[in-house]
Amino acid sequence: MDSQHYKMNGDAFQESRYIEDSPNKNGVISLIFSLKEEVGALAKVLRTFEEKGINLTHIESRPSRLNKDEYEFFINLEGKNVPALDKIIKSLRSDIGATVHELSRTKKKDTVPWFPRSIQELDRFANQILSYGAELDADHPGFKDPVYRARRKEFADIAYNYRHGQPIPHVTYTEEEKKTWGTVFRELKSLYPTHACYEHNHVFPLLEKYCGYREDNIPQLEDVSNFLQSCTGFRLRPVAGLLSSRDFLAGLAFRVFHSTQYIRHSSKPMYTPEPDICHELLGHVPLFADPSFAQFSQEIGLASLGAPDDFIEKLATVYWFTVEFGLCKEGDSLKAYGAGLLSSFGELQYCLSSKPEIQPLVLEKTSVQKYPVTEFQPVYYVAESFKDAKEKLRKFAQTIPRPFSVRYNPYTQRIEVLDNAKQLKNLADTINSEIGILCNALQKI
């Protein structure tokens, strides 16, 4: 098994990766389970496997960092043992009291796709990109510009070498890059008062005050990330190219947004065939500073963890029609909150005109709506409010077929899988404590 070393509070510790880089090689099945530290506990488990005729090909252990009185075990089983697997897992959970998870990155039936459990594990897929930042399509405005292509590689290399916990490297933008930013900034800012939602217009002046949002200056991702963390706990992470939908959404579960650092080609400042820093900083960032929108975005990410591929596609479509191209009601008017709209001078005007079709946000319908990527959207979906969108998303997430629920623990920056009585009791205790604080505060008002 490979392992990774991370820094926490200045001390090095070892994080088991649980899943091998070539999982299920030769039909291997991987399980992880935890047991209370008591005499004979592991022997009971091994006896259960022996009675079922199951051959273990690998086993390793470590003390649990979540529960001091438990140990965690990672095991590999031969693929031929699949028929007895359900009975084994049921026996481990009910008879022995173990917490069990089946792990797989493949599309095996009835298995849960791998997902990150700690924020450090985002390092594992941050560079598993669909296209490298320096690779441009032939119709890209910068395709024939060797200087621009070399510059794109510089940005891609910065992201490729980044690891969680490091400061995002400072970039010295060229005068040409700042001029391109200035054109986009000036044109879009003129539309925001009449076209952008209240939340965007409320935060934008704060970004100008604290993060260097100006026509003649491209803000640094590190400064913006620190600002977001102080507002909602969201943070930015540089990315070298496009991630898969599953990996990108998984980042949102930790309130991490994978952001580009490069800027569009100067020959077409009002057009980009891909997300760039104008899209990220002018479109996405202002809304991530709003608590209600930040929670909505995180819940899309949480819903994606361990979800089947077909539901990942549906969640990615929901993301497209909300976080990227969403409209919302403000009184009797419609306003834009989607980043794809707030970073496009042309589409921001188009989406609020009489030309496109406007539909209410109904996730069962929205999640299967087809959409174009390289042209204005023919249909937009309107949310009554971010609160309403969150409630609809939670109901939609309940239809996702996975054998557990998840929650994000902001103190440990880990995903907690809620699939046993102990986890639920811990959650109930936390909720009870928060309710106590609420009741105490209400008495003082």
Assess whether 405 carries a catalytic annotation.
no
The CA angle 305-73-7, to the nearest 5 degrees, is 70
| End-to-end Cα separation, the chain, in angstroms | 56
Is 303 within 8 Å of 404 (Cβ atoms)? no
DSSP 251-273: HHHTTEEEE------TT-TT--S
| Distance in angstroms (rounded) separating the CA atoms of residues 61 and 46 | 14
Which of 91, 245, 297, 343 is catalytic? The answer is 343
Q: Which helix (H) or strand (E) holds 310?
A: helix 309-319
Among the listed residues 34, 258, 279, 299, the single catalytic one is 279
Taking the C-alpha atoms of residue 75 and residue 81, their distance in angstroms, rounded to an integer, is: 13
Closest CA to 222 of 166, 178, 266: 166
Active-site residue, selected from the candidate residues 284, 299, 347, 367: 284
**How is the chain split among helix, strand and coil, in percent rounded to 5?**
45, 20, 35
Q: Is 279 a catalytic residue?
A: yes
Tokens of 102: 């089946």
Is 245 one of the annotated active-site residues of the chain?
no
| Of 70, 102, 299, 324, catalytic | 324
In eight-state DSSP terms, residue 25 is: G
Q: Which run of H or of E encompasses 78? A: none
Q: Find out whether 144 and 277 touch, Cβ atoms under 8 Å.
A: no
Residue 265 appears among annotated catalytic residues: no
Q: Which residues are catalytic?
A: 279, 284, 324, 343
